[in-house]
Amino acid sequence: MDVVEAIHTRRSIRAFKPDPVPREVLRSILRAALQAPSWENTQPWEFAVLGGEVMKNVKEALAAMGQAGEKPHLDFPWPKFTGPYMERLRSDGRRLVRELRLRQDCPDSLRRWRTSMRTFFDAPNGVVMYMDASLSQWSLLDMGIAAENLMLAAWEHGVGTCALAAAVAYPEVLRSLLDLPESKKMVLGIALGYPDLSQPAATFRSSREPMEGLVTWHGFD
């Protein structure tokens, strides 16, 4: 698979087979993440790769937070979207609810969905991306590029991913279980595993705005 094909075929996977991703495959995926460009090569990213018992414990601890009624509290404040951004979020969100047959009128069904998001959609593996508190917003851009490298490399290996802000909604739980100091800020969780293609959560395709609305051309005939 070439990189452009990977870019166009990758999608978020939200249903996984239980089979763990082999360590060598994970190493190769992480090598691609580490290859990302960054502001003056500062390489602000750090990655905790989760598997086996640790992954199980992390998922259980995150689920317990939600069950205890703890409100999510990201290290980087939850964004407030308005205008066209809110529109895009809503229109894909409505389609996702329909296609995945989530019951919007059923608080239990929505609670289960939120929990599954915070627990890496029960993927066998996960990555937590974090960075030092001394870094600036620019480093978040570098983190995003590294996350995309990771997700594309995973796709090339047949491994599905989903970037998950929800998985870092209880950052203190991750710091505690991963033995990280308060100075490390949780940026993003990424679920990893082999897609369970029998589930609509593994086949759902998000939409994109047409090029005309977002790209302007200057100096062309």
Q: Which residues bind ligand FMN (CB under 6 A)?
A: 11-12, 92, 117, 162-166, 188, 206
Residues 192, 152 contacting (CB under 8 angstroms)? no
Which of 22, 84 has the CB closer to ligand FMN?
Answer: 84
**In sequence order, what are the beta bridge partners of 190?**
127, 163
Q: What is the sign, positive or negative, of the torsion defined by CA atoms of 14, 77, 65, 175? A: positive
Residue type, 182: E
User: Shortest Cβ distance from residue 111 to ligand FMN (Å)?
Assistant: 15
Q: Which residue number, 146 or 166, has a Cβ lying nearer to ligand FMN?
A: 166
Helix (H) or strand (E) holding 30: helix 23-34
- Tokens 């590294």: give the residue: 146
* Helices (H), ranges, 41-200: 52-67, 83-99, 107-118, 137-156, 171-177
CB of 173 to ligand FMN, least distance (A): 16
- Report in angstroms how near the CB of residue 219 gets to ligand FMN at its nearest: 31
The two structure tokens encoding residue 65: 């937070």
Nearer to ligand FMN, 11 or 112 (CB): 11
The nearer residue to ligand FMN, 52 or 89, going by C-beta atoms, is 89
Q: What is the C-alpha separation between 169 and 59, in angstroms, rounded?
A: 12
State the nearest-atom distance from the C-beta of 148 to ligand FMN, in Å.
8
- Which lies closer to ligand FMN via its Cβ, residue 21 or residue 117? 117
Q: How far is the CB of 127 from ligand FMN (least distance, A)?
A: 13
Tell me whether residue 23 or residue 198 sits nearer to ligand FMN (CB atom).
198
- Are 207 and 91 within 8 A, CB to CB? yes
| Type of residue at 139 | S
Q: Nearest distance from residue 20's CB to ligand FMN, in Å?
A: 21
| 152, 8 Cβ separation under 8 angstroms | no
